[in-house]
Structure formats: C-alpha cells, structure tokens
Amino acid sequence: MTTELTAEASATVESLTERLADVWAELEERLAEVPILRRLEEGTVTIDDYLRLLFNLRQQVVDGSPWISRAASNFDIAHFELRAAAIRHAEEEHRDYLMIERDYVAVGGSLDDLRAGRKNLGSEALSGYMFTYADRPNPVGLLGAMFIIEGLGANRAAGWANRFQEVLGLADNQVHFMKYHEVADAQHTGGLDAILTSGIIDDAAADEIVRCAQVVSRLYALQLEELDR
C-alpha cells in the first residue's frame, strides 16, 4: 500500500473517515435504546437476558467466517490485498461461535438447545444481506460492515462483559467471547484502518463502504432488538 497520498486520495480518506464516524454515532444512539442493553446499563439485566443474548449471537456468528470467505473468493487479482485480508480474517474467526457455546453452557444453558436454535428476525436480515453482498464482484463495500462489526467488538464488547459480571457476578469463563473480542477486534480494526487510509479506496468505493456500514449498523441493532422473534 502506498504511503504517499495524492491530494485527491487524502480528501477521499478524510471524507470517508468523517462519514463513518457519523454512522458510528447513529449506531451508538440506537444501541442506547435497545431494551437488553438499556437493562444492562441500569443494572436490571438478568441471567436469562444474558442467555438470550448469547443464544441469538451464536446463530449469527456461526455465519461470519462463511460470508467473509465468500467475499474473498469474489475479489479479483486487482484487489489482491483485500482478498488476502479477507482470507486471513475468515481463518481467524471460523471458530468464534465455539466460544459462545462454551460461555452459554458455563452459564447453565443447554448446548443441544443452542445448536438447534434459529436466527431471529434481525439476524436473518443481517446474514442474508452479508451473503448477498459478498456474492458481488469485488465487494469492497463490506469494509463498511467490518467497520461496524469489528468496531463493536473492539469498543463495546469488553464493556458489556464487565457490566454483566458486575451485575450478575459472572466469572471470566462465562464472558470469554466478549472479552476475547476486545483484543482480537482491536487488531482487526487496526488492519481495517490501514486499508481505509491507504489511498486504494476511491470515491465510488467510499460511497459503497458508507452505505454498507449504514445497512449493517441498522441490521445489527435490529438483531439485538428482536431477541425473542
């Protein structure tokens, strides 16, 4: 990746950074209104709430590595660096759902029930969108999806885990999935930032990235809103 950006590339990077920051701010506002997260903040969340959250996250997380792999297969050689990054990312995340399963069982949940579960309305919409977008030729816009998903892991997951521990007295082995992603996703967001600020993103790609971030932001919040549907 080039380190010397043209004036045009610098302007694109600056604009993209500002637009993604706006998307993130909107997501933060929406998350503040999600019932389970509001109860977590207020200290009224229950063990059942936590089990429901893990149950629903698992059904979506199990699809994470497959859609990233599909996206990687649709990048051509002109987008080699994006293809390579997607391949690495898929390999790193393909066992993530197992951490949720261990946390779920450690809190008293049934592994058989968890594995027999189905996606809620928001998770169905999110996974469907991800797989559909990943099927596009050179799906650069999915960098916007990664901005949202990895950003939540890096910036919110550990805080949620700590709060669940404070309110419910959970042990570290019962919140491992969330705590792990604070570190793992911080590394991923660092790699994502390097790509977004490298100068390889033109204005058209930037528009796709922002649009994808907007959609994924809404759908991710929706899956947290629709835990029982």
**Count of beta carbons in the 10 Å neighbourhood of residue 143:** 25
**Short-list 31, 149, 51, CA closest to 100:** 51
- 3-state secondary structure at position 66: helix
* In contact, 196 and 13? CB cutoff 8 Å: yes
Residue 190 confidence (pLDDT):
59
DSSP secondary structure code for residue 46 in this structure: -
% residues pLDDT > 90 (the chain)? 70
pLDDT band at 52 (very low <50, low <70, confident <90, very high): very high
Residue 195 confidence (pLDDT):
81
Check residue 86 and give left, alpha or beta (phi > 0: left; psi -120 to 50: alpha).
Answer: alpha
- 3-state secondary structure at position 202: coil
Rounded-to-integer distance, Cα 106 and Cα 52, Å = 14
Residue 187 confidence (pLDDT):
58
pLDDT band at 1 (very low <50, low <70, confident <90, very high): very low
b or e along 55-92 (b: 16 or more beta carbons within 10 Å of the residue's beta carbon)? bbbbbbbbbbbbbbbbbbebbeeebeebbebbbebbee
Rounded-to-integer distance, Cα 161 and Cα 180, Å = 10
Query: Mean pLDDT of all residues in the chain?
Result: 91
Residue-wise pLDDT tens digits, 133-143: 999 999 999 99
Rounded-to-integer distance, Cα 120 and Cα 229, Å = 5
Contacts made by residues 21-25, CB under 8 angstroms, sequence distance 24+: 23/144, 23/147, 23/148, 23/210, 23/213, 23/214, 23/217, 24/147, 24/148, 24/151, 24/217
The structure's pTM equals 0.90
Tell which wins on pLDDT, 227 or 89. 227
- Predicted confidence (pLDDT) at residue 2 exceeds the cutoff of 50: no
Residue 102 confidence (pLDDT):
97
* In contact, 188 and 146? CB cutoff 8 Å: yes
The residue type of 152 is L
**Short-list 213, 194, 176, 186, CA closest to 95:** 176
